[in-house]
Structure 1
Amino acid sequence: MATTPLCTDPLCSHIRLTLSPMEFGLLTGPRRLFERGATFVGLDFLAHPFWDKYIEYEERQEAQDRIFAIHARIIRIPLHQYARYYERFRNLSHTQPLAEVVPADTLAKFQAEVAAEAAAYGGAPRPELEIERDVRAKIDAMYYEVFTQTQNEVSKRWTYESENKRPYFHVTELEHSQLNNWRKYLDFEESEGDFSRIVSLYERCLVTCAFYDEFWYRYARWMAEQPGKEEEVRNIYIRASTLFVPISRPGIRMQWAYFEESCGRVGVALDIHAAILMKLPDCVEVIVSWANLERRQNGAEAAIQVLKDQIDAPTVDLYTKAALVAEWAMLLWKGKNSTEEARAVFLKNVQWYADSRIFWDKWFQLELEQSPEGKEGETDQTERVKHVFDEFRSRSRLPNPVKRELAQVYMNFLMQRGGKDAMKEFLTVDRQMFGSVQHATPQETEGIQLTLTHRPVSVSTASKSGSGAKENGASLGELDEASKRKAQIRYLNFYEAHPEPNAEAQGAADFN
């Protein structure tokens, strides 16, 4: 247990919020428990019931010196009932020997001041009681300044405390206004710069907001900025991951894995990935993160092996496999600098994963980001991009709004990097993807209302094959609704999915 100065005032440096490790070790029984409680909740704005119990215990022990010492600690803490404790402290201080009320150097200073004041008036030597009375008056003035400072600190926090409508844990959602109040309160306390108070407020916040990931992230990031606090950061991640945040939201666990990797504990980071996949075997983000961990530590081949193993796993569904195949190709391209191998992966697997948006996004990315040299290279790249687009139109059963988005990617390429005849292809694609609806089939007009809300034209043939993709001459049919959702989904790495909080939002705040 660290020793924490109660205040920065040198006159008060002999009083502390917590005991030193040696002093704490000398305590036994209830006092030891009360001191633990003071460490955990003593700074809470509503901690007066705890302090009352502590004082009540010492009163039963008739330990007047400890009762005074506890009040001397409390009067510096911004509490809801701070004034009550100050009045009791002031009364107690009048019954304590002067040497127990202030440090020896402060007492000597006040006594010297009283003697100097008496000498200035040239009076006769004064009685001891009179001198003590004047010294106590100076001590009272000193502690009144402490009271005034505490009062100011209470006033600063009252705005936030008065808005805190639920200071306890509950499984139901909080209002957006409550979350926003906690954010502002944490901003304020961090700006004040008192480590103990900041930790105390974070701990209070997480009692109420334990199911909201953002506050765990924020606490861990703030703690990581403090020097020598690696173990404290680790404990924050452990508490969030093993007690409060459900595994269905694995983002905080992934952050924990990155933290452990940064500390050189690669085995722990791998174990965290494996533990998540035991419950979420289809989680693309976790599998890709695992592969990249292996790439960083052991090279591209180790990463590719992770992806291959997951692609072959029976627990991984078709659309997850499609995303992993696309990542495999990306690793070959960027990790091994082998564009041809990456292209071969797409060409080999297009027959299986043509209904995955991620698959096509990555294939387009591969071809669009090449840097051709000379006219021949530019012509070759144009043919390759066109080949990807033609394959996409003929093979994919993705919903038409998605097809139009990818068509626009191709059209942008033609506009910005196409050759002399690029506008012929541009207008052909424009006519086929965004033209008149009167000749389109029902499948081709799917999603027309969505399109018409964004542009004044109708929908035409989004698929070259007319009635849908075919294999061996037989129609593959349309995707069901569940498959459509999986087919067109895009994934973000968890560290990319941190939307800015909306201060104007109303109603209950979803945990997700």
Structure 2
Amino acid sequence: MADYDHYGSSEEHAEIKKLEAEVEADPDNFETWEKLIRACEGLEGGLNRNSSPQALAALRNAFDGFLLKFPLLFGYWKKYADLEFNIAGPESAELFPPQRPDRSLTNTLRLFERGAAHVGLDFLAHPFWDKYIEYEERQEAEDRVLAILRRIVTLPLHQYSRYYEKFRQLSHNRPVSELVDDDVLAAYRAEVEAPYAGTQRPELETERDIRGKIDARYYELFTQTQNEVSRRWTYESEIKRPYFHIDELDYQQLANWNKYLDFEEAEGDHTRTIFLYERCLVTCALYDEFWFRYARWMSAKPDKEEEVRIIYQRATTMHVPISRPGIRLQFAYFEESCGRIDVARDIHASILIKLPDCIEAITSWAHLQRRHSGLDAAIEVFKNQIDSPHVDIFTKAAMVTEWAFLLWKVKGTDEEARNVFLKNVDWYADSRIFWDKWLEFELQQPTSAETEALHGERVKQIFDSLRSKSRLSKASKKQLSQIYLEYLLQRGGKDAMKQFLLIDREVFGPSSISKLSPPNAKENGAGSADLDAATNAKAEARFFNYYQLHGELDVERQGNVSFN
């Protein structure tokens, strides 16, 4: 937020500064933005054209920031425009720059055509077309009104019938040359004159017959449009909220949008499909699944790289909060696939500026480095995050396991990977991910008859370390113990059942004989007391790659669909 000279009372000034700091810290918080705008509107007893420049600047700054974050809230755009009008007045040169009449007309028509290009095909575009027609009627330009209606009567719009009737009424008083293209008109004239070849026929009769053919042509178009409207009404009638809002939508609404998009894609009209996606992404802008779908659909078309890039840019810079990084990572993969490696790196870095503990983004960045700069560069990413003071200890635990897995899976050095686990167990013993990955590593090592006993000792070492060093919850320790019990059953030696029953007793027995808690304090200085609820939630959290969570929407479920 910009800094201004003092304005309003001391209390008002302090409140606005506090709210500005809050929206900077959490720009996705809609309620805080609303409070900021209301506070700015109330400055100096209510802003008007006599308010101080500093107070007006504070209001404009609040609106600019808010609408940059939530650009689809049309009600606030109107509110902002009304405030500017009330402040500046109708004599404002900025609001109403003087123009010659011919230039004003040209600019207005250009704006209407821009509007037609952006919303003209929307099923609910009738308010726009009504304004366009109304403007041309005020200019007494019936020829242009007719031209607009000729465009509309072929579009499957909610108000299609009204436009057709208006077209019919107006067409009776307009020359036939304005009703159809020249080649169609010439063909109709040839058809009606053919039976009278070589004879003189009044022009009025010829025109009457031509108009009859034109009427029949437009009636046929009307019935085709009517059919297209009926097909789309199946989906249109289920749309309960056709505008953007920060509130969630229910399962049925999202399912309906997906079905509608399926329908339009199957129709095969590229332009109409784009219009429906754009309309859907007004209502569903905060649901990244529709941005994914739009980008995937567009990427299947030839020579659409820049269009796909723009879709990702819109999703990541304006609509989907950074707290949901999946669409940003997909954007990075897209840029990498296009050879823009530095851009892909920058996208990863931008995520970590706001989400330093995003394991998915760190891991993704490391593998980006591995693909293009080698294994050492990937490991360096993990080491930098482990050394960072801004990264949580449980995130660091995950980074250690990813580092070990790189050494194992990519470099092929089992011993180096094992040493990473052994050297870090005292630091990350309270991380569930650490134990899961260490067990996975050892259990997947190849063995032979000669090495099976050594392998068993290594697995037992993990289990013993878990029991003696970790403060994970009893539930987690029991789950991990079950993995070891299964190992003993399937791969243990002749004395394995003694160990099996001992663990079964001490882990799953009554509290009087249970030995789940570590007996001593950890060597790194942490106490042996149980973790508090908040820390335990972090310790046991799992992380998934965003693409692992893609699934079909359950249309039978009730209630709203979380943005997350």
Q: TM-score, normalised to structure 2's length?
A: 0.77
1:29 is aligned to 107
Corresponding residue for residue 166 of structure 2: 88
State the alpha-carbon separation in 2 of the partners of residues 350 and 414 from structure 1.
Answer: 23
Residue in structure 1 matched with residue 463 of structure 2 by the alignment: 389
Greater alpha carbon shift after TM alignment, 259-268 vs 27-36: 27-36
- Provide the C-alpha distance between the structure 1 equivalents of 2:417 and 2:266, rounded to a whole number of angstroms: 50
Q: Match of 1:170, SS? A: coil
Verify the 8 A CA contact 1:397 1:468 in the aligned structure 2: no
Pairwise mapping of residues 213-362 of structure 1 onto structure 2 (< 5 A)? 213-362=288-437
1:124-160 C-alpha deviation (Å, 9 max, x unpaired): 7643322322222122112111111111111111122
Q: Indicate which of 437, 445, 468 corresponds to 2:510.
A: 437
Residue in structure 1 matched with residue 515 of structure 2 by the alignment: 461
Q: Which amino acid aligns with 1:75?
A: V
The equivalent of 1:496 in structure 2 is: 548
String of CA shifts for 1:95-143, please: whole Å, max 9, x gaps: 3433432334433433344345668xxx976433223222221221121
Distance 1:495 1:363, change over 3 A: same
The question of whether the paired residues in 1 share the 8 Å contact of 2:359 and 2:395 is answered with yes
Aligned equivalents of 1:389, 1:354: Cα separation in 2: 12
Structure 1 position 508, deviation (Å): 2.9
Q: Which residue of 1 aligns with 2:534?
A: 482
The 2-side partners of 1:54 and 1:416 are apart by 77
1:322 partner amino acid: A
Once residues 57 and 474 of structure 1 are traced to their aligned partners in structure 2, the CA distance between those partners, rounded to angstroms, is 75
Distance 2:325 2:532 in 1: 28
Distance in 1 (CA, whole Å) between partners of 2:340 and 2:210 is 60
Residue 495 of structure 1: how far off its partner (Å): 2.1
Give the counterpart letter for 1:342 in structure 2.
Answer: A
Q: Structure 2 residue aligned with 1:139, among 210, 214, 233?
A: 214
User: 1:62 Cα shift?
Assistant: 3.1
Alignment: residue pair count: 460
| Cα deviation 1:306-349 (Å, max 9, x = unaligned) | 11011011111211111111111111111211111000000001
Deviation at 1:473, TM superposition (A): 11
Matches within 5 A, 1:394-473: 394-419=468-493, 421-434=495-508, 436-437=509-510, 439-440=512-513, 460-463=514-517, 465=518, 467=519, 470-471=522-523
Q: 1:419 to 1:500 in 2, by over 3 A?
A: farther
Any idea what SS the aligned residue of 1:228 has?
A: coil
> Which residue identity lines up with residue 402 of structure 1 in the other structure?
S
- 1:79 pairs, out of 145, 157, 177, with 157
Match of 2:117 in 1: 39
Q: Which moved more, 1:97-106 or 1:153-162?
A: 97-106
SS at match of 1:52: helix
Partner of 1:178: 253
Aligned residues with identical type, % of pairs? 65
Q: 1:91 to 1:392 in 2, by over 3 A?
A: same
Tell me what 2:451 maps to: 377
* Structure 1 residues 417 and 103: CA distance shift in structure 2, 3 A: farther
Shift of the 50–422 alpha-carbon distance from structure 1 to 2, 3 Å rule, reads same
Question: For 1:300 and 1:361, how far apart are their aligned partners in 2?
Answer: 23
Can you list the C-alpha shifts for 1:244-277, whole angstroms capped at 9, x where unaligned?
2222222221111111111111111111111111
**Cross-structure match for 1:453:** none
1:173 positional shift: 2.4
SS in 2 for 1:352: coil
Task: Provide TM-score, normalisation by structure 1.
Answer: 0.84
CA-based RMSD of the aligned residues comes to 2.4
The aligned amino acid for 2:515 is T
Q: CA deviation at 1:417?
A: 4.0
Residues 494, 472 of structure 1: alpha-carbon distance in 2 compared, 3 angstrom cutoff: closer
Give the Cα separation in 2 of the matches to 1:143 and 1:358: 68
The SS at the match of 1:351 is coil
Query: What stretches of structure 1 of length at least 5 have no aligned partner?
Result: 1-26, 441-459
CA change 1:406–1:114 in 2 (3 A) is same
**Please, which runs of 5 or more residues in structure 2 have no aligned partner?**
1-104
Q: 1:474 to 1:276 in 2, by over 3 A?
A: closer
8 Å CA contact retained: 2:153, 2:163:
yes
Deviation of 1:59 (Å): 2.3
- For the residue of structure 1 that corresponds to 2:426, the secondary structure is helix
CA distance, structure 2, for counterparts of residue 357 and residue 427 of structure 1: 24
Whichever residue aligns with residue 461 of structure 1, its letter is: K
How far, CA to CA, are the matches of 1:201 and 1:191 in structure 2? 13
Code of the aligned partner of 2:140: E
CA positional deviation for 1:474: 9.3
Deviates more, 1:424-433 or 1:344-353: 424-433
Closer, same or farther in 2 for the Cα pair 1:415/1:96, shift >3 Å?
A: farther
Alpha-carbon separation, structure 2, partners of 1:117 and 1:243: 65
How far is 1:408 from its partner?
A: 2.0
Give the corresponding residue for 2:268. 193
- Greater Cα shift, 244-253 or 295-304: 244-253
In structure 2, how many angstroms separate the alpha carbons of the residues matched to 1:273 and 1:474? 33
